[in-house]
Amino acid sequence: MRSTTGWQADSTTRTLRRAALERRDLRPDDIAVRVEYCRVCHTDLHALQAHESDANGVLVPGHEFTGVVTEVGSAVADFSPGDPVAVGNIVDSCGMCGMCQAGQENFCREFPTLTYGGADRQDGSTTLGGYSREYVVSNQFAYRLPAGLDAAAAAPLLCAGVTVWEPLQALGVGPGSTVAVAGLGGLGHLAVKMATALGATTSVISRTPDKADEARGLGAHGFVMSTDPKQMEAVRDQFDVVVDTISAPHDLAPYLRVAAMDGTLSCLGHLGSVTVETMDLLIGRKKLSSAGSGGRPSTAAMLQFCAEHGITADIELLPSSQVNRALERLERNDVRYRFVLDMSDLD
C-alpha cells in the first residue's frame, strides 16, 4: 500500500480532519497522480452530512481534481511522469454494457465506480476521493489536461462542466441556436460560457435583476427575470434549448413555455420528483430531458473545446486547510461560482 495525507470525515462532528490515508499499489493500468487542485461540490457536503450515521465507513470527499502524474503502471503507454491530468467523478465502469460500449460510462448499467464512496471493482475497497495529496486511478479514467487551461479553474469542468456539455452536444447546440440558461450558479455559468462559445444566441433566466451584469459578463446576449410575467411572456416559444440548472424544487411549466416549437427543456439542477402537465408538452411538441456527468469521449472532447475557447470555471481558491470553512460557506450558497482547494499544504 502507498501512504498519503488527506481530509477524512469525522462522523461525530460532521467536519473533516487531516488524516493519513492509504492508496493501493499500482496495478498495470494505473497511474499515480499528485493532486494539486480539487473542487468542493455540493455532493461532498451532502455526503459529509449523511456520514454522521455511518461511523464505520471512511469518507474522503472530492471528485473533480487536477494534478500531475508521478508514476505509471507497467501497461500504461498514454501517460508519463510529469504529465498534467484531470480526473472526474467516475473512476471505473463495467466496460461491457451497451452504455459503456457507447462511451457513456456515466450511465453504466452496473453503475459506475465513483471517485469516492464507491466500491473498487477488483478488491471491493471503498474509494477515497481527491481531498488528498495522491490518488491512484486507472489510466482509462484520467484525462490529459490541455495546455492553456488553468489547472485550478479547470477542476470544476470534470463534473459540472461535462454535465452541461453533454446535453448541449446531444441537442445540437451551435450557430443559429437559441439557448436559455435558467439559474446562474455553478452549472449555469458554465452553460452560458459553453453555449455562447458554440455559437448560440444565449440568454439567462433568473429571479432577480442583480444577475444581469454577471450574465452579460459571462457572454450572455439577453437576460430575463423569471419573476416578471411580461418578460417571460415576451420570450414565450423562443428558445431551442432551455438548460435548467436550478437546484431547488420548482415549477417546470414557465420554462417549458419559453421553449420553442420542438424545443427541449433539459433539467440538470434539481433531480427530484417533478410534476408536468401534458398540455405544456403538447403545445409546441416540446420535450423534457435530463443529463448527468459524462462519458470518457465527451469528457475528453469537452476539455479540448474549453482549451480552444479559454473556458474555465469562475472560482475562489482556498488552501485545503480551509476545507471546513468552504463547506460551511457552500451550505449558505456563499460562493461565486465554485470553491477549489489547493492541496499543496498537505505536503
104-137: per-residue pLDDT in tens?
999 999 999 999 999 999 999 999 999 999 999 9
Task: State the DSSP string of 259-306.
Answer: EEEEEEEEE-S--S-----HHHHHTTT-EEEE--S--HHHHHHHHHHH
| Structural domain contains residue 74 | yes
Read off the pLDDT of residues 14-30 as tens digits, 9 standing for 90 and up. 899 999 999 999 999 99
- Bridge partners for 316 per DSSP: 339
Mean of pLDDT values over 36-62: 88
| Structural domain contains residue 304 | no
Domain of residue 81: give its range.
2-158+313-346
pLDDT of 53 > 80? The answer is no
Q: What is the CATH number of the domain that holds 281?
A: 3.40.50.720
| Structural domain contains residue 208 | yes
State the chain's mean pLDDT as an integer.
Answer: 96
Return d(Cα 242, Cα 232) in angstroms, integer.
13
Instruction: Say yes or no: 11 and 123 in one domain.
Output: yes
pLDDT of 334 > 80? The answer is yes
> Which pTM value belongs to this model?
0.96
pLDDT of amino acid 186: 95
Instruction: Say yes or no: 172 and 116 in one domain.
Output: no
Instruction: Say yes or no: 114 and 168 in one domain.
Output: no
Instruction: Say yes or no: 146 and 168 in one domain.
Output: no
| Structural domain contains residue 305 | no
Q: How many structural domains is the chain composed of?
A: 2
Instruction: Say yes or no: 185 and 49 in one domain.
Output: no
pLDDT of 304 > 60? The answer is yes
| Structural domain contains residue 295 | no
| Structural domain contains residue 302 | no
Instruction: Say yes or no: 181 and 326 in one domain.
Output: no
Q: Are 139 and 79 in contact (CB under 8 A)?
A: yes
54 pLDDT tier (thresholds 50, 70, 90):
low
Instruction: Say yes or no: 123 and 173 in one domain.
Output: no
Residue tagged 485550478 (cell numbers): 152
| Structural domain contains residue 224 | yes
pLDDT of 55 > 70? The answer is no
